[in-house]
Chain A
């Protein structure tokens, strides 16, 4: 949130909440309830969004839905050559994925490489019946043939811009901003 960069807020707290509420209903509608559904959030932003979806879906269906946490670092396609090794986070999926419908949750869908890594990781944990993707923002510029099943907002962006999702759990504020790159 530095003043030197040209930033523009494209979604506020209410906007994020409405998007997530709609996505929660869409997931339940498409899958006809939440039997057999599990949520897996991609660290770190995706985890907070998955937690919010978990709460919303549980409130709607009056039932519990399992939530897993996935760190995709070890599955990145650039990890073997990365000069600086990213700090690893914890992966925690305490339930079987076999024959489950996995709702993979992330904050921003961009090149698709993170999702490719996440799908490889999920398949190492079992054989899901289906994997569906829910993202808050789809900013385009795919480098792999991947699309989201549930999108909060399509946000056409240019490559020199950065899209940042701030969440209360992480940065103390709920907003989506576009930053002009330096």
Chain B
């Protein structure tokens, strides 16, 4: 199958065949990270710019390591140390970066659609590393890769996604991806955190966490964005965790071999109890991080080239 996209902006526009190709390519890249010399010469001479307008540890490091293991030169720009603080607009920043001839620009921005704006503006490949509450495609791809490895398939799985769906780009990308791949998605969260008409995305929606978790193959907990407490969408962290925290008791409702996922960073004791997060018989959270590097290597590999 030919992969001839210029950009990776969201899971919504990827076909099932493209998702399969990305996941299979990523599986081949896993092995490189286990070698004594964790580097292949494939993208020698290519330049990748990581343009991060929002805080990030995992995603930015993961993209940087992915680029470096493929021998590309990676440059990180974070908004706090760039000309953004002097008032430069995103469009001007992008045009200036374009003039330095990178091959790929990875962007995270708090405004939904920012990567799409850039993709239309510059000739370089753009990878969306998270745009507002819209999409986080590489997270969904690494989540699907983790599920595929642990469960042997994605089609037919029952996946529960719990927490602040409204503000979660991880949830949105996963809903698009999992539905395309034939999994059944159940959501649960307080009514104030469930977008209206979310059922139209083909998911089952519950307000009680127990109903969503029941019989699940995969439970994905979302991070409660602590800054949201001020917006009065939930009364207190304490009350949230009483109703929605994943713990030893409610996990029993899921299938025996359930896996627990979390995109990080974790608020221990808020959305997930520490003993579940750290229990290797359930938790695949660090495995997700491991897969993240392989998925990003696969995308960098698939997007580069084709100079003629």
Binding site for B on A (CB under 8 A): 71, 74-75, 79-85, 87-92, 120-121, 124-126
Contact = CB atoms under 8 A, between A and B. Distances in A.
Interface in B29-70: 29, 31-32, 35-37, 39-46, 70
A94 B305 CA distance: 31
B24 interface: yes
B291 to A, nearest CB: 16
Given A88-B29, A90-B31, A92-B31, A75 B41 contact: yes
Given A75-B40, A80-B43, 5 more contacts: A83-B306, A88-B25, A88-B28, A90-B28, A124-B35
B305 A74 contact: no
8 contacts: A80-B42, A80-B46, A80-B304, A81-B305, A84-B2, A87-B21, A88-B29, A124-B40
Contacts of B24: 87-88
Interface of B: 2-3, 21, 24-25, 27-29, 31-32, 35-37, 39-46, 70, 301-302, 304-308
Contacts of B39: 124
Given A79-B305, A80-B305, A85-B301, A125 B37 contact: yes
B41 to A, nearest CB: 6
Contacts of A81: 305-308
Contacts of A126: 36
A21 B71 CA distance: 41
Contacts of A88: 24-25, 28-29, 301
Contact of B37 (A71, A87, A90, A124): A124
